[in-house]
Structure 1
């Protein structure tokens, strides 16, 4: 599948008629199969192709979606929230690389980093790493250089401060923490870059499955902190990518 720039270039060069170009653009938006409508226009609209959310889909449904994506020119595919059992079935049909801790699979090669700078992914503890890896792999898949700073929570603040150079050099910081979620506020007070806070469902009873961290992050007194939903590493990685490519877009 050609993107809109390729089509316009062919029209300009005389290799494609206007009518053929209109037909191509009309047929590009999506393809409907029995259980899904696969969106081929998403990269044109948003800069990134459609991602497969693996949870709730059968392995055979995912195989079919991959097949249709590849037939229509999407040569890199990100699958999130994919179980190991589903991966074992899908890999019989497609050569996908699986990252078990993040429950992420990738078809195709990672893009060469093209963003403005580096995205730092920091976690409060090691229990937050699965969400962090989902964020980091999403950002890498979309063409960003990622620096991982794991287990640098506020219970031992010196661990975070030992990485101050990486933090202040970042163009975006993703701060991931459960418990009381204080890491985002601390980082927000140290850096001049946007901070994307990700609350995780890590913690004891009164953490309420991540709600305590979510509310702490939403109420951060540090300016420049935005918050995504509980355990939403993908959303954080995607948003960080958008921020990190704004200068390149201009």
Structure 2
């Protein structure tokens, strides 16, 4: 089946005109590109609205370059490679000169999708407990932005100086989805969860002294939060938080 045929079939399935079994069969037969070291899913954009995202860590610069270029030539959406270093970026630029590297977030990205209309009335807010959490927050921010959302940030407003958090109450009340990023004991997520009726996505970070166990202490604190409506992603997973926040924001 061609991309147009599969897109039509998926639209008909969403409208209730095609049986689930037929739609699943079409997706199962959707083509991917065999690259010897990777099988690139070129129909991810049709199913999820965004091309496949590359996890660069553990891949050679040449592998990231070739996958990025393959996605560049077979899709229309924004492109993203996470956990990338400058050597990855230098190789990607050989074939996609317009790609951008954000060193703080460790992301290579291409912001090219002119079909996106960001709704300023439905914002994602990203809060960090400390400045040391900003790299994870920037990964979440850029991910959510490239997925088509308006994103606002408030950094370094942890519970050690809780008056700093209260200064951002207007932004908390105005947000549609809130991402809370914290290391150490991870208390900020519970505090924010008690201040809002909006979904809160908690991200534990590996920031902290020895007993923080590289983020495990914050992870357990967030999982044990007594505040209602707090969900938790994995340690340092800014990308996962940004992607989930985007999906929630678009539903609302």
TM class by smaller structure:
0.7 to 0.9
Deviations 1:140-184 (A, max 9, x none): 000000000000000000101001010011110000000000000
* Aligned equivalents of 2:150, 2:10: Cα separation in 1: 31
* Aligned equivalents of 2:76, 2:55: Cα separation in 1: 16
The corresponding residue for 1:90 is 92
**How do residues 164-175 of structure 1 correspond to structure 2 at under 5 angstroms?**
164-175=169-180
Q: CA deviation at 1:3?
A: 7.5
8 Å contact kept, 1:139–1:241: yes
* Aligned equivalents of 1:128, 1:57: Cα separation in 2: 25
Is 1:112 the counterpart of 2:117? The answer is yes
Range that drifts further, 91-100 or 71-80? 71-80
Is 1:100 the counterpart of 2:87? The answer is no
The corresponding residue for 2:20 is none
The corresponding residue for 2:22 is none
What is the root-mean-square deviation in Å for CA atoms of aligned residues? 2.2
Any idea what SS the aligned residue of 1:91 has? helix
Distance 1:3 1:162, change over 3 A: farther
Range that drifts further, 212-221 or 85-94? 85-94
* Aligned equivalents of 2:153, 2:188: Cα separation in 1: 15
Aligned residue pairs total: 233
Distance 1:204 1:90, change over 3 A: same
8 Å contact kept, 1:116–1:244: no
Among 8, 30, 36, which residue is 2:38 paired with? 36
**How do residues 50-129 of structure 1 correspond to structure 2 at under 5 angstroms?**
50-94=52-96, 95-109=98-112, 111-114=116-119, 117-129=122-134
* Aligned equivalents of 1:47, 1:75: Cα separation in 2: 8
State the TM-score, normalized to the length of structure 2: 0.86
Unaligned runs of 5+ in 1: 10-23
* Aligned equivalents of 2:5, 2:100: Cα separation in 1: 26
8 Å contact kept, 1:115–1:143: no
8 Å contact kept, 1:172–1:244: yes
* Aligned equivalents of 2:40, 2:136: Cα separation in 1: 26
Among 125, 128, 147, which residue is 2:152 paired with? 147
8 Å contact kept, 1:3–1:44: no
